[in-house]
């Protein structure tokens, strides 16, 4: 494969945005940050304990939470949509469970392992085992019972939420447990601990921001790429547990507020401003892009890909372009070389579109494109990176961790201007 030079040159970025963190850059004490979270997110949780590591010695800030005060703060709860618009599902339970309606007017318990059927019932009701209700039914594991749905094992309790002709199953689980089930699917658990810790902070911040935004919805997050990948927290790997536990409660803030800490696989030598991918997102400095010279070790740094010409033409039609596809050209690119706009030309005309929209529709690996050729049945693409290129570059985080940068330095680099904070 052709050996592309690193795209670490800072030619088009602000000088300050190109700064590489120093290895000994101490961060001092952690300020605290709060959010306007719905009531559900704080109840029923276990008290959390601030790790020794989090209380920086010599800190004088009154904003720091004393360890004894933190013990009184219940852990935030997360609502994750596990089964969506279904008519039938089965929940295996390893031991005792309680099943009840929210007002406790109907309840029963099962004392031994078994399988519980969940199905839709007439008149918009849901049936769990023998209990039928038009309001949510709660399935609560007791004494360490685990619940298994579609071969994934969960530790939280479930809400069966009745819809018109279907139901949803939503897991209600403590935030830190949820992160145990996110981390290994968003970053390889064998990667350096500091990279995993950076990922834990990014995922925690993203989660809390979602809770803040979804206060009026029946759940906070999907269990797939629409939010973050999540496959239950029953089986936790040591490295994942360490990364989550050693950063417990830590989040990123900008001007005292949480923000969506977007991340992606590989930026191909530089991250970009969030506006090229999501124009509705706030244009804040931590999502403004930065150089990256830590990701070229990854096989994702260079790519060659063919996509069916038909999928590009389908997208072109959705943009009002008729006829067969003739060419795709980069119309505008960012300073890091990522296409922000593409011009699609068909036998019926041409149109300039956001590359991010084209990527979402066709599944191209990245908009950092160096070659595009339209063939008879396929479109051939070459370029750098994997993902949207906004926020933290995960391969870059791994590269930095291997070079002995700390998770705090990794986060500072990929979310410039952000502040590592203790959430309360
Ligand atoms: Zn990168």
Q: How far is the CA of 287 from the centre of ligand 1 (A)?
A: 14
pLDDT above 80: residue 260: yes
Q: How far is the CA of 398 from the centre of ligand 1 (A)?
A: 10
Please choose, from the candidates 150, 146, 221, 151, the residue with its C-alpha nearest in 3D space to the C-alpha of residue 186: 221
Residue-level pLDDT at 214? 86
pLDDT tens sequence across 47-72: 222 222 332 222 223 233 333 334 44
Strands 392-393 and 378-384: unpaired
Q: How far is the CA of 85 from the centre of ligand 1 (A)?
A: 37
Q: How far is the CA of 268 from the centre of ligand 1 (A)?
A: 5
Q: How far is the CA of 290 from the centre of ligand 1 (A)?
A: 9
Q: What burial class does residue 322 get, using C-beta atoms within 10 Å of its C-beta: 0-12 exposed, 13-18 middle, 19+ buried?
A: exposed
Q: How far is the CA of 362 from the centre of ligand 1 (A)?
A: 22
What are the structure tokens assigned to 419, written together?
A: 């502040």
Q: How far is the CA of 414 from the centre of ligand 1 (A)?
A: 9
Q: How far is the CA of 267 from the centre of ligand 1 (A)?
A: 4
d(CA 418, CA 266): 21
CA distance to 101, 119, 221, 245, per residue, from 132 (Å): 9, 9, 26, 40
Q: How far is the CA of 295 from the centre of ligand 1 (A)?
A: 5
pLDDT above 50: residue 402: yes
Those residues with Cβ within 8 angstroms of residue 196's Cβ, 6 or more apart along the chain or in another chain? 183, 187, 189, 239, 240, 242, 243
pLDDT tens sequence across 166-223: 999 999 999 999 999 999 999 999 999 999 999 999 999 999 999 988 888 899 999 9
Q: How far is the CA of 135 from the centre of ligand 1 (A)?
A: 47
Report the run of H or E that residue 397 belongs to, with start and end: helix 394-402
d(CA 415, CA 424): 21
pLDDT tens sequence across 155-180: 999 999 999 899 999 999 999 999 99
Q: How far is the CA of 371 from the centre of ligand 1 (A)?
A: 20
For the chain, give the mean pLDDT.
Answer: 85
Q: How far is the CA of 188 from the centre of ligand 1 (A)?
A: 16
Q: Edge-to-edge strand order for the sheet containing 107-110?
A: 107-110, 97-101, 137-141, 157-162, 167-174, 77-86, 221-222
pLDDT above 80: residue 313: yes
Q: How far is the CA of 296 from the centre of ligand 1 (A)?
A: 8
pLDDT tens sequence across 277-312: 988 888 999 999 999 999 999 999 999 999 999 999
Query: CB–CB of 253/259 below 8 Å?
Result: yes
Q: How far is the CA of 9 from the centre of ligand 1 (A)?
A: 13
Query: CB–CB of 405/21 below 8 Å?
Result: yes
Q: How far is the CA of 134 from the centre of ligand 1 (A)?
A: 49
For 328, the 3-state DSSP assignment is strand
pLDDT tens sequence across 9-43: 332 222 233 333 333 333 456 878 777 666 555 44
- DSSP-assigned letters across all residues of 132-172: EESS-EEEEE-TT--EEETTEEE-SEEEEEE-SS-EEEEEE
Query: CB–CB of 91/118 below 8 Å?
Result: yes
Q: How far is the CA of 233 from the centre of ligand 1 (A)?
A: 29
Query: Could you tell me where the DSSP H helices lie in 173-278?
Result: 175-186, 193-213, 238-245
Q: How far is the CA of 342 from the centre of ligand 1 (A)?
A: 22
Q: How far is the CA of 127 from the centre of ligand 1 (A)?
A: 48
Residue-level pLDDT at 188? 95
Q: How far is the CA of 4 from the centre of ligand 1 (A)?
A: 14
For 53, the 3-state DSSP assignment is helix
Q: How far is the CA of 395 from the centre of ligand 1 (A)?
A: 6
pLDDT above 80: residue 230: yes
């Amino acid at each position: 494969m052709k050996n592309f030079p690193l795209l670490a040159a800072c030619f088009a970025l602000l000088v300050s945005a190109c700064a590489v963190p120093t290895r000994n850059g101490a961060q001092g004490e952690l300020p605290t940050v709060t959010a306007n979270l719905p009531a559900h997110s704080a109840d029923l949780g276990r008290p959390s304990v601030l790790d020794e590591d989090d209380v920086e010695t010599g800190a004088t800030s009154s904003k720091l939470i004393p360890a004894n005060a933190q013990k009184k703060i219940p852990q935030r709860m997360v609502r994750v949509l596990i089964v969506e618009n279904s008519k039938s599902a089965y929940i295996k339970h390893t031991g005792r469970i309680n099943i009840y309606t929210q007002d406790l007017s109907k309840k029963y318990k099962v004392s031994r392992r078994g399988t519980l059927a969940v199905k839709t019932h007439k008149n918009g009701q849901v049936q769990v085992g023998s209990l039928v209700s038009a309001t949510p039914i709660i399935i609560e594991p007791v004494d360490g019972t685990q619940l298994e749905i579609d071969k994934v094992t969960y530790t939280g309790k479930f809400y069966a939420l009745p819809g018109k002709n279907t139901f949803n199953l939503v897991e209600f689980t403590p935030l830190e447990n949820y992160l145990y089930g996110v981390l290994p699917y968003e970053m390889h658990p064998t990667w350096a601990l500091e990279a995993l810790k950076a990922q834990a902070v990014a995922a925690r911040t993203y989660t809390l921001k979602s809770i803040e935004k979804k206060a009026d919805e029946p759940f906070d997050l999907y269990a797939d790429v629409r939010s973050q990948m999540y496959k239950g927290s029953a089986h936790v790997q040591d490295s994942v547990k360490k990364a989550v536990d050693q950063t417990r409660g830590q989040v990123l803030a900008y001007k005292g507020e949480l923000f969506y800490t977007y991340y992606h696989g590989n930026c191909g030598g530089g991250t970009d401003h969030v506006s090229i991918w999501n124009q509705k997102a706030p244009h804040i400095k931590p999502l403004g892009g930065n150089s990256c010279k830590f990701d070229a070790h990854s096989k994702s740094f260079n790519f060659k890909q063919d996509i069916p010409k038909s999928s590009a033409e389908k997208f072109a039609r959705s943009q009002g372009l008729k006829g067969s596809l003739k060419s795709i050209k980069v119309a505008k690119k960012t300073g890091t070389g990522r296409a922000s706009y593409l011009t699609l030309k068909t036998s019926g005309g041409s149109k300039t579109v956001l590359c991010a929209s084209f990527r979402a529709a066709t599944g191209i690996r990245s908009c950092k494109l160096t070659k595009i050729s339209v063939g008879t049945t396929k479109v051939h693409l070459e370029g750098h990176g994997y993902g949207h290129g906004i926020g933290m570059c995960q391969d870059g985080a791994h590269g930095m961790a291997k070079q002995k940068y700390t998770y705090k330095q990794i986060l500072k680099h990929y979310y410039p201007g952000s502040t590592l904070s203790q959430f309360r």
